[in-house]
Amino acid sequence: TFVNGHLVASLSDLDRVPEGVTVTPLNEAMGKGDARLKLLAPVEQVRENPIYQLNTAFLADGALISVAPGAKPATPIHLRFVGTGEAAFSTATRVLVDVGAEAEFFLLESHEGPAGLTYQPNDALDVHIGAEAAFRHTRLNREGDAAVALSTLSVRLDARAQLETVNLVTGAKLSRHQIYLHVAGEDANAVVNGATLLGHGQLADSTLLADHAATGGVGREMFKTVIDGDSTGVFQGKIIVRQVAQQTDGKMKSDCLLLTDDGQMMNKPELEIFADDVACGHGATCGAPDEDLLFYLMARGLPRATAESLLVQAFVGEAVETVTHEGARAVLIGGIEAWLASRG
């Protein structure tokens, strides 16, 4: 558990870490000159990113998580980030994850903070997935309603590595979650999903850069956004296919559901392809709930608000149903249900 950007051992179960996994406080690892710190900024493009540079400049604490080659812990690790206090503050944390060859690891993140308080968390997660290893990850942003939340996920995939990540956003007044992928090994597979539910004038930005630099890579990126009130959603996604990355299969899509006429959604999907043997595509949609479906549900006795909630659950559910861990999936579904309940 991190409180205001600092790892609090008394609130953490460091003694219950699964076999094959080690968790080291980042300050301790830096003090010892741990060789695994080379994982910092594994994706080249992230090093020039201002938000990531800001995290580096003000970095206060974090953790180094190492998964031994071949280890397959059944229990995920939950990283909980909590903001508290009565005065404005900012935090900068970084977590490094090294998943050894042929290992499997599941990481759950949750971020929360006080309502009505202006604060700025800036967290970064740098991941290296070894050959034939699998890393699965979920992230829940339920920051306070006045927060400015910045976050970065940077992942390097070696040969035949697998990545599955889902980010759910319901909190913060202003948020940006940026994802940088570097497919460095052949036949790697990345599934990146996002679900964003906004209301009360929120603005949320989801930014993705997937850089394919090896043959046979597969990428599936799907982002779902629900806009209520006068909120604003932003999706910026770019797939780069290097000349050496023949037989890359990349698909990216952003879908938006507008519940009112006052909200807006901005989509900017891009492809930059230098190879000639690829199957890549992108798309974006935006629209209101289907009135025929609403009528069908209301004709069976459901109030309009309940009917809308069912459609929203089905819409964003596509992005979270890929989570294989039952407990982690339940956490995300709970976050969706809490947002729907807050609509009244």
pLDDT tens digits for range 67-116: 999 999 999 999 999 999 999 999 999 999 999 999 999 999 999 999 99
Q: Which string of b and e fits 119-133 if b means at least 16 CB within 10 Å?
A: bbbbbbbbbbbbbbb
Confidence band of 131 (pLDDT split at 50, 70, 90): very high
Q: Please, what is the Cα angle at 164 between 163 and 170, to 5 degrees?
A: 140
Residue 230 pLDDT: 96
Model pTM? 0.96
Calculate mean pLDDT across residues 157-175.
98
pLDDT tens digits for range 11-28: 998 888 999 999 999 999
Residue 344 pLDDT: 67
For 125, the 3-state DSSP assignment is strand
Paired residues of 237 in beta bridges: 208, 269
Q: Where are the domains of the chain?
A: 2-288
Token digits of residue 78: 């939950």
As a whole-number percent, the residues of the chain with pLDDT over 90 amount to 91
Q: What is the mean pLDDT of the chain?
A: 96
Confidence band of 51 (pLDDT split at 50, 70, 90): very high
Dist. CA 249–CA 219, nearest whole Å: 6
Residue 41 pLDDT: 67
Token digits of residue 232: 């604003």
